[in-house]
A and B are shown apart, each in its own frame.
Chain A
């Protein structure tokens, strides 16, 4: 019913649009930096609806056309606090707003490092850092709190997964094609050059593509739009890294009509918060613009974040208790007396974009981008053969594996007193590998060829996920009169992902034999069956060689989209739509012994035609009171990672694969007055027919198993509220609440297959309706107090409380068995609520032309070390002894800090 009324309202507004012709006037003024008094260019001036009226020029001056009457103009610029100014606009006249001063936020929040850097709560090991909320730090107190306060606790706005937001850099969509997720790490460390962004928290248009339900972030790195000068930043932290240095230079638009902006940053650390988490990153950025004339300009941008970092893994509570440390990291161990991590993520993926800006008239602009993104990312892991699982928290090495108290005590003793037991024992790996003499017969499939030497029993492999992606897009935006804007465009991409394993370190051995050890155990007599690659059977591999699995994923897609925006003095309306074709396929580069018929070569192509429409807008009762509404329906192609049943081994498409459908609506009330700003929004979203494919080792069946869930429905609904009150111009209190229900809304169908044979083991149902989605607090509350002194120092404190944090469930125990029962079914596990207090303070100085700022952000000052932010039930399950496979959980860091020093001139 609510939706129907909304549609009626929108239609009424559309009708009115043609009848009432608004009267307009002009507003002019001058914008300066509050601290330095320097004029500020590039400040975006918009009216209460969010419609951009114009930007300030190089001298800080502006003149914009606005509807007449009492208007609330907002002034926004990256690095600066937003200013809202009430102006009375007289029709046909120019109103002088005078000098508007913006307070720089340098060193306060905007220079903060990575917010979300925890690993994903799943077992698949894919890259998982998300961009959640980070870029959506905006003037909206709810979103800014969601990003900076809730973000570290893995909070997701409205519970949406991060693949439901779109992030683009100069029009190049940087969401990972295989997983759909925009990974912040791809441009980490380039904070100072990534701020020029248009952010939409939801389907509201930012003027590029069909903004998805989780919003869009449109980053622009046009060289001429950076503040000219040099900025250096040095940061100290005990979070993911200890040190960060960033240096950015921007020329501004020079007299030869060139503009150059370059940035370099280095982040490094011997260890982060947990032991074993070294960090070693270099980030590079270069943007070069040539302005041909008033209408044409070209901009080239190249960026890359190269890093290697040691990862911290979650473990079971039993392990944490045994280690007497909730931040125990099972991934590292001593090698030659020094700490070495077995799980190292690395990245080296340059992104190149070339953009043409064309402004044929004052009311029209055309932006065209061609971009290429390529390179490699990896995640190392141990692999082993003919030895006990070398991970220290393996269940057979835990006291709980034994039933007798004396045994449990003996195991606990050795675990607690010997780091070779409680951590990875690298020295032993070398010891074992260096004496394991073995001869491989018919090596590489060559009759009679023998390879002798030490066969490695333990290795470090690098699971690579490389990409090569080309994108092209063009968008045209045209204003009709001053109240209607039409924007639209096309976008096309050609993507190839390359997934494979490579030997990273033989750990003292001479070679590794590339066979499928699970298949070897199951079919000991079938020498063909356990080959990973029948084209090269019994192959010995050395460091740098590809082994295990090797395949391409391909995706080609094209999108056509358009948005119409109508803006009147009392209301604004937008309508948007898109259509997309997507084609996906796999190409195997190895002929797997168990699947000789469909592992090598190209799979059939999976094609999808998807579309979506949306509408929304706002109605202003006055400049201070607004209601906003959005309505969206769209279909999405399945993610390529879920399109194949077992992409590592074969070309089989997931049975029952469907397009996902999303229906979403929200309704909000916004209060904007000079002293009180606030928002209350209610939302409802239903996701239908999602597909999820996961793989794990099944204990009872002794093999890798693929679980393909189809027909997943989810519902997310709730309320979000934020209010910010200026008690004095300098003292601000704020309160934020997010209360939601993020649910599984169906019993998905499940297809279970083994990785070592082609039989479908089971076609069943998973009983999870009304289970909660995991990985985010579904209730988050915060209250804060901030003091911003006019003498350029600030201090603030925020308290936050979280509840309804659910662990990801194990579908195995909720799956119907052959007899039609759910013998192991149990309710979902939930973490305890948690309370955190954060403190931040800073000061800035202006000395001649030098601008110096220092800030400190201290999180969790009460040092709460027992707050679980998430986790997952292990997929391994022993019905006789469920205590063997307790869930793995993650704790929020205890007291942590981020100190920032920046100098700009």
Chain B
């Protein structure tokens, strides 16, 4: 009974107390919060507008010193540069934590403490007050507080992009200037975006990738670019670039990038892989139309200079893989042709020497001589195949039907440098048809056997 009475009393008297207390509790949150209210806007400070050239000139005195005695230069002027972003790490991965800005006077590398967040075509202003100019291998860059790196060199560190850069607009055109290799190899072009026309990777670079993407960590690489007059510039590519593992294009054409320098070597830095357009015919390309059908052939290659590429009217000398062709060789007054993988650096090399078409209406006999040197093919691999095709039209190397001709070739155990006769090789008789004979060399840097051919003759039986 006692408890029941009490309960009634509680219900009447105390519920108000509870309600009040709960309401009090609910009011309290106003004084506890995480201060999430947005702060007022802070204005970006634009100082005096100056040219990039003027900013870079602050470092001229340092650059004139030997590199060991240079120190980064702090910019204490309230200066602002304005320009277009011409290259950035937000495209194709060839740059990292950096971007290039360019105005009418010059271009400059901006070094950041993180990926840039800037894109090609952004129009930006950079307040350079408090930043530092330094260099890496004579190439000027803009960064932040200097520090000593693991090798003991004083470097500028990357700066916080958001602190110093403001985007004015995006999607602007960032078109390169047209120039030649010879022109861009000068201080005036450093940091600028350039487009080189009629250039190709050097013959020695054929078959290589842009950089070493497989290494751990991936490694950057230098590749030599040349124009048809022989002027060269290094193309430097990061191992982290999206195209680092791709093979260098074999053709000639245009390439766009930023001009940089490392010590005394001028370099080109590709900013956008889609601007590499090297698919045209290479310098010195000789058109090789397949000749008109002939009844007989007799070729001893006399007249070519030593090491000359063998181009003969009506014949074809083709580099199917690796870029190496059949070359002429002169020894003791005798001229012959030679193919080799030696010192090529190639994982595979295939070179074809194809005769003009021979009329097959009447029986024909083929004879030639071969010699080998420094046999390096392994197992049953053969350096030379002698092939025949009656449906090759001069352009369908890969799709034409090729059949092997049975003949005697210099073998592994034959004496080096000694020509061996092929014996008489009968060609098939096909009324109204013609056929070509192809000498195909297959090798590599490892399977580098040198192979020679001379005195190719086709006679009527």
Contacts and interface: CB of A to CB of B under 8 A. Distances in A.
Contact of A249 (B14, B167, B243): B14
Interface string B136-162: 000000000101111000000000111
Contact of B17 (A230, A280, A336): A230
B240 to A, nearest CB: 9
Nearest to B145: A410
Interface string A167-191: 0000000000000000000000000
A280 B33 contact: yes
A846 interface: no
Contacts of A229: 6, 10
B148 A269 contact: no
B9 to A, nearest CB: 10
A262 B242 contact: no
A58 B147 contact: no
B412 interface: no
A249 B92 CA distance: 68
B33 A457 contact: no
Given A245-B21, A262-B18, A228 B3 contact: yes
A335 B39 contact: yes
B4 interface: yes
A809 to B, nearest CB: 26
Contacts of B22: 247, 264
Contacts of B39: 335-336, 426-427, 430
B42 interface: yes
A525 B92 contact: yes
A431 B42 contact: yes
A232 B14 CA distance: 12
Interface stretch (B49-57, B113-121, B326-334, B363-371): B113-121
Contact of B18 (A58, A249, A431, A437): A249
Contact of A340 (B17, B35, B160, B171): B35
13 contacts: A58-B3, A249-B10, A251-B7, A251-B10, A251-B11, A252-B7, A278-B32, A278-B33, A388-B114, A388-B160, A410-B145, A430-B38, A436-B117
Contact of B162 (A278, A432, A521): A432
Given A247-B18, A439-B170, A404 B148 contact: yes
B34 A402 contact: no
A404 B21 contact: no
Contact of A266 (B3, B15, B28, B148): B28
B169 to A, nearest CB: 7
B162 A428 contact: yes
Closest 4 interchain pairs by CB? A386-B117, A432-B162, A404-B148, A266-B25
Given A228-B3, A407-B147, 19 more contacts: A247-B22, A278-B33, A282-B25, A308-B34, A336-B39, A403-B150, A404-B147, A428-B162, A430-B38, A431-B42, A434-B41, A435-B166, A435-B167, A436-B162, A437-B169, A457-B162, A525-B92, A525-B242, A525-B243
B253 interface: no
A568 B34 CA distance: 60
A: interface residue count bin: 35 or more
A245 to B, nearest CB: 6
Contacts of B15: 249
A850 B338 CA distance: 114
Interface of B: 3-4, 6-7, 10-11, 14-15, 17-18, 21-22, 25-26, 28-29, 31-42, 44, 90-93, 113-117, 119, 145, 147-150, 160-163, 166-167, 169-171, 242-243, 273
Contacts of B6: 228-229, 252
Interface in A486-543: 505, 507-508, 521, 523-525
Given A266-B28, A437-B169, A336 B21 contact: no
A229 B6 CA distance: 8
A147 B292 CA distance: 102
Nearest to B241: A524
B242 A270 contact: no
Contacts of A727: none
A505 B35 CA distance: 12
A19 interface: no
Nearest to B171: A439
Contacts of A432: 162
Nearest to A265: B25
A228 B3 CA distance: 8
B34 A386 contact: no
Nearest to A431: B42
Contact of B93 (A251, A269, A282, A524): A524
A65 B353 CA distance: 113
Contacts of B29: 268, 280
Contacts of A406: 148
Contacts of A344: 34
B74 to A, nearest CB: 13
Nearest to B147: A407
A322 interface: no
Interface of A: 58, 228-230, 232, 245, 247, 249, 251-252, 254-255, 262, 264-266, 268-270, 278-280, 282, 308, 310, 335-336, 338-341, 344, 385-388, 396, 402-404, 406-407, 410, 426-428, 430-432, 434-439, 457, 505, 507-508, 521, 523-525
B370 to A, nearest CB: 47
A266 B42 CA distance: 38
Contacts of B114: 386-388
Nearest to A270: B32
A254 B36 contact: no
Contacts of A385: 117
Given A58-B3, A402-B148, A386 B25 contact: no
Contacts of B38: 430, 507-508
Residue in B3, B29, B32, B167 with the greatest tally of chain A CB atoms within 10 Å: B32
| Most chain B Cβ neighbours within 10 Å, of A280, A388, A404, A428 | A388
B41 to A, nearest CB: 6
Contacts of A430: 38-39, 41-42
B32 A279 contact: yes
Given A264-B22, A457-B162, A340 B36 contact: yes
Of B34, B117, B169, B273, the most chain A CB neighbours within 10 A belong to B34
Nearest to A242: B32
A166 B115 CA distance: 48
Contacts of A436: 117, 162, 167
Contact of A386 (B40, B115, B170, B243): B115
A436 B115 CA distance: 14
Nearest to A262: B18
Given A254-B7, A525-B242, A270 B31 contact: yes
A232 B170 contact: no
Contacts of A336: 35, 37, 39-40
B153 to A, nearest CB: 11
A268 B37 contact: no
A428 B171 CA distance: 26
B98 to A, nearest CB: 13
B166 to A, nearest CB: 6
Contacts of A269: 32
Given A282-B25, A387-B114, A435 B44 contact: yes
Nearest to A507: B38
A341 B34 contact: yes
Contact of B170 (A255, A407, A438): A438
Contacts of B35: 335-336, 338-340
A457 B34 contact: no
A523 B245 CA distance: 13
* Interface hub of A262, A427, A432 (most chain B Cβ within 10 A): A432
A264 B32 contact: no
B160 to A, nearest CB: 7
B169 A403 contact: no
Nearest to B92: A524
B20 to A, nearest CB: 10
A386 B116 contact: yes
A280 B3 contact: no
B28 A387 contact: no
Contact of A437 (B7, B92, B170): B170
